[in-house]
A and B are shown apart, each in its own frame.
Chain A
Amino acid sequence: MGEELKAPKKIQLAMYWAASCGGCDMAVLDVNEKILDIAAVADIRLWPIAMDYKYKDIEKWADGEIDVCLFNGAVRNSEQLHLARLLRQKSKVMVAFGSCASFGGIPGLANLHCKKTIFEAVYGYTASTVNPEGTTPQTHTHVPEGDLHIPEFFDDVYSLAQVIPVEYYVPGCPPTPETVMTAVNAIATGNLPPVGSTIGISKAVCDECKRTKSDKPGIVEFHRPQEIFVDAEKCLLEQGLTCMGSATRGGCGSLCPGVNMPCRGCYGPMPNSLDVGADALSAMTSIVDAAEEGDARAKVGKMVDPLGTFYRFTLPVSMLRRAARPLQG
């Protein structure tokens, strides 16, 4: 009690990773010396990339003992689901940190398949697989020394909010240092937006992009970035690159278009968007230079993998959410 009067209690912070690449944890380190500011206001209680811990340590915490949990990564197996639920119980505020936790992210593209077809590929027919007995991972295996357990692989990849209640979203693959510090400052000062908000801006990447846009755009052909010499000034979409900037929430400072790479959509849909893929499809193809069906088909047909382009980070939270499973029984 007396101690609390002297110095304000530090924020109890937990960070966790699930189906992710580690980039989000790197993004936290990417704030460089500002990490010291974070350490000044927060006790980092859990951070698997940097500190050792055991599940039983987390289990010992009281419910709500953690003020804020920054959870990165999608959820696609039983271990990740368990940790998501456990950390939810221990945390007052749960933040979906990064695109995978927020929208399913790149791992979410696995929703084009299901567990069965993924196992068939990974443990079956990929060029590097030698598995004559067709062995696949089992959750329980008995060996002379005892029972072995590994997590169960799910049929779907879930965003964090699809498995537990989430208070805030911090988008980005990974979130930029500015986005991270905006989130940290909001948390540290208690200056938080309404529950359910995305911590960021409500403008599109296009809004932040400095490239020049013409009044009469007309895409003549779609290209992949490596196929053309990119004009450094002109709008990338007008050059035929499938740039997601018009359908994607800004806040990144239009980083990728700034270095001649089309936006890939990692900050996710715009606020109030029904479906980011529908938005992007409309924006990109409506301006194709074609007034006749055959011509439109020839030009739009050059776009490689529309689904992967439009939903690269967001398939699990999109309107259709996954590819249809085969019809049977």
Chain B
Amino acid sequence: MSHEFEPRIVVLCCNWCTYAGADLAGTSRMKYAPNVRLVRVMCSGRVDPSFVLRAFQDGADGVLIAGCHPGDCHYINGNLKTLRRYPALETLIAQFGIEPDRMRLEWISAAEGDVFVHVVNEMTEQVRALGPLDWKRRTAMTVPAAESHTAG
């Protein structure tokens, strides 16, 4: 594995808690790994499993889903739906050959800038240890060129 590998981690975070938490980390001048790309969604319940699959397909080495603590969702129970989907999604990606440590679900409130920093740093190191996912190359589909087949 090359030493320069820098994980690319997509963070799907809800507008009301985790995004504000990340903002707090920023305005408090806390440092965290620059490996994350934040995608703001209105609620963690908006995270369709296809977002996660698309991220892996398109080159992410890890995906973090983050939202309000259960009970604090601004849409009452959006995060409960995420919480219910998550175990099946975990099994599913494992069946596709994606290590479970490449995906993580966290509840991070607007006041928890430090938690955001901790989770991002920890996950970055976990994914770094796993190495690149390299999905495109490992699943490349090459339709063979025309060639002779068996005799009729």
Residues of A within 8 A of B (CB): 54-56, 78-79, 81-83, 85, 112, 149-152, 154, 156, 158, 162-163, 274-275, 277-279, 281-282, 284-288, 290-293, 296-297, 300-301, 303, 305-308, 310, 319-327
Q: How far is the CA of A322 from the CA of B148 in the complex (A)?
A: 27
With A82-B146, A324-B138, A325-B139 given, name 17 new contacts (CB 8 A): A81-B144, A82-B149, A83-B149, A85-B146, A156-B141, A277-B53, A277-B92, A284-B88, A285-B84, A287-B84, A293-B83, A296-B86, A301-B91, A303-B91, A320-B135, A324-B139, A326-B138
Shortest beta-carbon distance from A292 to chain B in Å: 7
| A-contact 0/1 string along B44-59, CB 8 Å cutoff | 0000111001101100
* Size class of the contact patch on chain B: 35 or more
Asked whether, in the complex, the Cβ of B49 is within 8 Å of the Cβ of A151, the reply is no
A residues near B134, Cβ cutoff 8 Å? 327
Do the beta carbons of B150 and A291 come within 8 Å of each other?
Answer: no
Instruction: Offer 15 A-B interface pairs, CB within 8 angstroms, sorted by A.
Output: A54-B152, A79-B150, A83-B149, A149-B150, A282-B48, A282-B49, A282-B85, A285-B87, A292-B83, A296-B86, A297-B87, A306-B88, A310-B92, A321-B141, A325-B97
Q: CA–CA, A322 to B72, complex, Å?
A: 38
> 1/0 contact trace for B37-76 toward A, CB 8 Å?
0000000000011100110110000000000001000000
Residues on B with beta carbons closer than 8 Å to the beta carbon of A78? 144, 147, 149-150
- Contact between A79 and B141, CB atoms less than 8 A apart: no
Q: Judging by beta carbons under 8 Å apart, are B147 and A327 in contact?
A: no
B135 and A324 contacting across the interface, CB-CB below 8 Å = yes
- Cβ-closest chain B residue relative to A53: B152
Given the contacts A79-B150, A149-B150, A154-B144, A274 and B54 also touching, CB distance less than 8 Å:
yes
What's the least CB distance linking A322 to chain B, in Å?
5
B31 adjacent to chain A (CB < 8 Å): no
Could you say which residues of chain A place their CB within 8 Å of the CB of B149? 78-79, 81-83, 151
Asked if B131 and A327 sit within 8 Å, CB to CB, the answer is yes
Q: Are A150 and B150 in contact (CB under 8 A)?
A: yes
Q: Does the CB pair A81–B143 fall under 8 Å?
A: yes
| A-B pairs with lowest CB-CB distance, top 5 | A55-B152, A324-B97, A278-B50, A82-B149, A307-B95
Considering the complex, give the chain A residue whose CB is closest to the CB of B93.
A320
User: B88 contacts A303, CB within 8 Å?
Assistant: yes
Q: Tell me the complex Cα distance, A274–B54, Å.
A: 9
Q: What residue of chain B has the Cβ atom nearest to residue A163's Cβ?
A: B143
Kindly provide the distance from the CB of A312 to the nearest chain B CB, expressed in whole angstroms: 13
Q: Are A281 and B49 in contact (CB under 8 A)?
A: yes
Confirm or deny: B98 has a beta carbon within 8 angstroms of a beta carbon on chain A: yes
Q: Are A158 and B143 in contact (CB under 8 A)?
A: yes
**Contact call B84/A281, Cβ cutoff below 8 A:** no
Chain B residues within 8 Å of A156, by CB: 141
Which one of B84, B138, B148 contacts A286 once the chains associate, using CB atoms below 8 Å? Answer: B84
Q: Shortest Cβ distance from B58 into chain A, in angstroms?
A: 10
Q: Which residues of A contact B81 (CB under 8 A)?
A: 282, 286
Given known pairs A291-B70, A301-B87, A307-B95, the reply for A320 and B53 (CB within 8 Å) is yes
Measured CB to CB, the closest approach of chain A to B48, in angstroms, equals 6
- Assembled-state Cα–Cα distance A152/B131 (Å): 34
User: A281 near B89 (CB under 8 angstroms)?
Assistant: yes
Set of chain B residues within 8 Å of A305, measured between Cβ atoms = 95
Q: Which of B70, B139, B148 contacts A321 (CB 8 A)?
A: B139
* Alpha-carbon distance between A123 and B72 when the two chains are bound, in angstroms: 56
CB distance B57 to A307 under 8 Å?
A: no
CA distance A323 to B138 in the complex (A): 9
- Tell me, yes or no, whether B111 is within 8 Å of chain A by CB: no
Task: Using CB atoms, name the residue of chain A closest to B95.
Answer: A307
Max chain B C-beta neighbours (<10 A), residue from A85, A112, A274, A285: A285
In the complex, what distance in Å separates the CA atom of A158 from the CA atom of B70?
A: 43
Which residues of chain B are near A149, meaning CB under 8 Å?
148, 150-151
Residue B20 CB within 8 A of the other chain: no
A320 & B143 in contact (Cβ 8 Å cutoff): no
Which residues of chain A have C-beta atoms less than 8 A from B151's C-beta?
149
Q: Are B141 and A162 in contact (CB under 8 A)?
A: yes
Alpha-carbon gap, A303 to B83, bound state (A): 15
Q: Mark B113-152, 1 if CB is under 8 A from A, else 0.
A: 0000000000000000001011100110101101111111
Across the interface, do B84 and A319 meet the contact criterion of CB distance under 8 Å? no
Residue of A nearest to B131 (CB): A327
